Amino acid sequence: MSEDHTHVQEFFGARAADWDRKFPGDGPAFAAAVAEFDLRPGDRVLDAGCGTGRALPELRSAVGPSGTVLGADLTPQMLDAAVRAGRAAAGALLLADVARLPLRDGGLDAVFASGLIAHLPDPGANLRELARVVRPGGRLALFHPIGRLALATRQGRELTPGDMRAEHNLGPLLAGSGWDLLSYADEDARFLAVAVRRP
């Protein structure tokens, strides 16, 4: 989108109040993605770029009361919308840039990121930052509730071979950032790439 965080905040801030109403049918896709991510009770998980927190209740259910759920987002209005929707009860919300997380090295078991990768100003460096906060063997889920083609159609653009989320591009990008791609699904109803943090 842009390296200018002000632009990102303005874009999402202006849409935060109506975000959930604009995409009312996404709930089952979030639930299915979290279920496939195979979190365990007691896990420590970050929802990176959590937006209005649509994944937070599902993540809390997956890790249980003994687990830790954090939601980080750059846009205050998105976090406010998460609070209004009652999702702050599922995890702690952080106003934070995922490019510079206020978290210790290796402190998490997993990162869930919905729609995030397209908005990262420096994807390689930003994925390395996510790897920094995850323990070796921990996992990353890059998710979107619709696939690449459906999203491109919605946005009025064409898919190109250079699309960062294409498997032939995403695999090497992850590999250069401390992750190994485990699984990749790009279907009309979902996009889900799961990677593991290298030792």
Helix/strand/coil percent split, the chain, to 5: 40, 25, 35
Question: Between β-strands 108-114 and 44-48, what pairing exists: parallel, antiparallel or unpaired?
Answer: parallel
Question: Between β-strands 92-95 and 68-73, what pairing exists: parallel, antiparallel or unpaired?
Answer: parallel
Regions in the chain scoring below 70 on pLDDT:
1-17, 19-20
> What tens digit of pLDDT does each residue of 112-165 get?
999 899 888 899 999 999 999 999 999 999 999 999 998 999 889 999 999 999
Which residue spans within 54-156 are E strands per DSSP? 68-73, 92-95, 108-114, 134-144
**What is the pLDDT, as a whole number, of residue 1?**
37
Rounded to two decimals, the pTM is: 0.90
Burial 136-152 (b: 16+ CB within 10 A, else e): eebbbbbbbbbbbebbe
DSSP state of 73: E
Q: What is the largest distance, in Å, between two alpha-carbon atoms of the chain?
A: 44
- Contact criterion met (CB below 8 Å) for 159 and 55: no
